[in-house]
């Protein structure tokens, strides 16, 4: 199997005012997406390992690198992260899940984020070109830090085609603006 990447797409958001109040430090979020050919579209295949072996480790490093670069931050400065896959209509959700729910994808991603410790939250679904995907985000070191629980909506106008998969990585430079609900740690005391 040979990599077939039709395009990379990057989305950056920088929020300065939230809730009608200025933010001390702008909230930066960036998602990097790759639109790849799905070799299993339109057919059932038992062994997904060739797809995983070809793409997972590469995308697990390339996508967070592009997202961090777009925000102008290092892995040390990343505070929150997440991942996702949007599978075209002739594919199975399992094809996208196979790509992102492996250590081959997650370990390079966590490593690039200064050896993050938490599991990457994920979103995956099947849809037609132009559909949106809401990427779940959590703190890279502590999943109970509620200030970093958020989502980021991504879409690529012409992807995924029926025989493609859109794979995404998202990073943040902080948590939500003006967090006020506290940590889950406090409720567990």
Q: Express each pLDDT in 131-181 by its tens digit.
A: 999 999 999 999 989 999 999 999 999 999 999 999 999 999 999 999 888
pLDDT, tens only, 6-34: 999 999 999 999 999 999 999 999 999 99
User: 57 lies in a domain?
Assistant: yes
Range of the domain at 44: 5-137+152-176
User: 29 lies in a domain?
Assistant: yes
Is pLDDT of 189 > 90? no
Name the percent of the chain lying above pLDDT 70.
97
| Cα–Cα distances in angstroms (integers) from residue 169 to residues 17, 20, 73, in the given order | 25, 29, 15
Check residue 183 and give its pLDDT: 72
Check residue 185 and give its pLDDT: 65
User: 147 lies in a domain?
Assistant: no
What does the pLDDT average to over 59-88? 98
User: 60 lies in a domain?
Assistant: yes
Higher pLDDT, 55 or 2: 55
User: 97 lies in a domain?
Assistant: yes
Check residue 175 and give its pLDDT: 96
Question: Considering its fold, how many domains does the chain have in total?
Answer: 1
Cα(91)–Cα(139) distance, integer angstroms? 31
Check residue 187 and give its pLDDT: 66
Query: Average model confidence (pLDDT) for the chain?
Result: 96
User: 117 lies in a domain?
Assistant: yes
Q: 4: helix, coil or strand?
A: coil
**Beta-ladder partners of 83:** 122, 169
| 144: Cβ contacts below 8 Å, ≥ 6 apart | 183, 184, 185, 188
Weakest mean pLDDT among 39-48, 119-128, 172-181: 172-181
Cα(136)–Cα(149) distance, integer angstroms? 7
Give the domain CATH number at 120.
Answer: 3.30.1330.110
Check residue 1 and give its pLDDT: 78
User: 187 lies in a domain?
Assistant: no
Is pLDDT of 45 > 70? yes
Q: What is the pTM of this model?
A: 0.95
Cα(132)–Cα(149) distance, integer angstroms? 19
């Amino acid at each position: 199997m040979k990599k077939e990447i039709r395009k990379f797409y990057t989305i950056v958001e920088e929020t300065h005012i939230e809730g009608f109040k200025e933010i001390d430090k702008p909230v930066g979020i960036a998602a990097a997406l790759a639109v790849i050919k799905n070799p299993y579209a339109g057919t059932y295949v038992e062994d997904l390992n060739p797809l995983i072996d070809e793409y997972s480790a590469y995308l697990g490093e390339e996508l967070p690198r592009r997202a961090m670069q777009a925000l102008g931050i290092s892995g040390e400065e990343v505070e929150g992260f997440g991942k996702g896959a949007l599978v075209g209509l002739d594919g199975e959700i399992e094809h996208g899940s196979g790509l992102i729910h492996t250590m081959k994808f997650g370990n390079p991603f966590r490593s690039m984020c200064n050896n993050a410790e938490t599991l990457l939250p994920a979103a995956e679904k099947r849809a037609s070109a132009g559909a949106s995907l809401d990427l779940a985000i959590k703190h890279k070191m502590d999943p109970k830090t509620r200030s970093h629980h958020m989502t980021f909506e991504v879409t690529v106008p012409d992807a995924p085609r029926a025989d493609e998969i859109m794979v995404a990585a998202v990073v943040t430079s902080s948590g939500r603006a003006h967090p006020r609900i506290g940590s889950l740690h406090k409720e567990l005391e």
